[in-house]
Amino acid sequence: MKKLIKYLLLFLVIVYSTFWLLDVLFTNIYQQGSYYKTQWLNNKENNVYDFAIHGSSRPYTCIDTEEIVEETKMDGINISLDGSTTPTHALMLEMFLNRGNKIKTLYLNVDNWEANTEVIGKFSYPRFFPYYKEEAVYDHYKEFGLKWKLYRYLPFVRYAEQNTTWGLHQLANSLLNFKRPAYDSYGTKIYESTDYHGTRELFEYDFDTTGQMKYLNRIISMCNENDIELVVFVCPFANAETDEEYYAGINEFEIYLQKRGVEFYNFGDKYNKEFDLFVDEDHLNKYGVELFTKDMIEMINQHK
């Protein structure tokens, strides 16, 4: 019995050590890659930007950052992440600043469904796994329960669980760069398709300001601490129900931000029902991007 326990312990030590070594190896290689936006952004260090655009897939795909840079003669970057939520926006901003990057003005897209959310971005969270041992990343995710704490102490489990994101194919790609990333050199991705694939039924995009706004307030605090001017805006929707509740929610949210010294611009109904400018309900096609980028340039010029 003693021999069995001894061999079992030895087996567990070998397995744990093997997974620990694989974890270190995979993590080091993944951190050198640039396929995912998180990889690219986390290799940006000690840069100074006049502006940064931040948020989910909406500002990621609906704004031509390069065009803004050329028109305004300012240094800019798009740090938005597809599939992300306000908690993710707070984490990405913190990591970006922790790497010595400086931003003069942050333009943050906040939508009605995420202003008060404390939900993990289910599509974006695996992309932070190579950075899970960083204090900011672990401190962020450990708030969501035991599973997120165990990821730090059980080596390689997070990669095994998300092998479609961080499998051997991505290991090879991080070494050889045979797959091109979807974003351009400014961090923008613009859809090639011009066909509308969404519903034409109108949807209630109403803000609710009754919650704590935990992560939005965290972003506001980070901006204050780092002397960053924060401007919040809403990208266009294709199918907004622009009734009294819609405008009341917009007004309440604007007042909420004004009390915290944050300026707000609502473009949510700017191109409402102009479905030929969208690929779906909340993402512009290249024709819509061209128009909305002009709106962004006008907004940014006011803050030069």
Confidence (pLDDT) at 261: 97
**Whether the model pTM is above 0.85:** yes
210 or 294, which is more confident? 294
Neighbours of 245 (CB within 10 A): 13
Q: Using pLDDT thresholds of 50, 70 and 90, give the confidence band for residue 84.
A: very high
Three-state secondary-structure class, residue 167: coil
Q: Using pLDDT thresholds of 50, 70 and 90, give the confidence band for residue 3.
A: confident
The per-residue pLDDT for range 17-51, each reduced to its tens digit, is 999 999 999 999 999 999 999 999 999 999 999 99
Three-state secondary-structure class, residue 234: strand
Query: Rounded distance, CA 120 to CA 24, Å?
Result: 25
The per-residue pLDDT for range 89-106, each reduced to its tens digit, is 999 999 999 999 999 999
Alpha helices (H) in 162-282, listed in sequence order: 163-166, 168-176, 214-225, 244-258
List CB contacts of 59: < 8 A, sequence separation 6 or more. Answer: 53, 78, 80, 107, 109, 235
What is the rounded average pLDDT of the residues 203-226?
94
Q: Residue 222: is it exposed, middle or buried by C-beta count within 10 angstroms (0-12/13-18/19+)?
A: middle
Closest listed residue to residue 157, CA positions, set 255, 27, 6, 4: 27
Dihedral angle sign, alpha carbons of residues 30, 35, 41, 47: positive
Phi, psi of 227 (to 5 degrees): 55, 45
Q: Which domains does the chain have, with CATH numbers?
A: 2-301 (3.40.50.1110)
Q: Which two tokens stand for residue 167?
A: 């499998």
Q: Residue 179: is it exposed, middle or buried by C-beta count within 10 angstroms (0-12/13-18/19+)?
A: middle
Query: Rounded distance, CA 101 to CA 231, Å?
Result: 18
Beta-sheet strand order (sheet of 48-54): 76-78, 48-54, 102-109, 229-234, 263-266
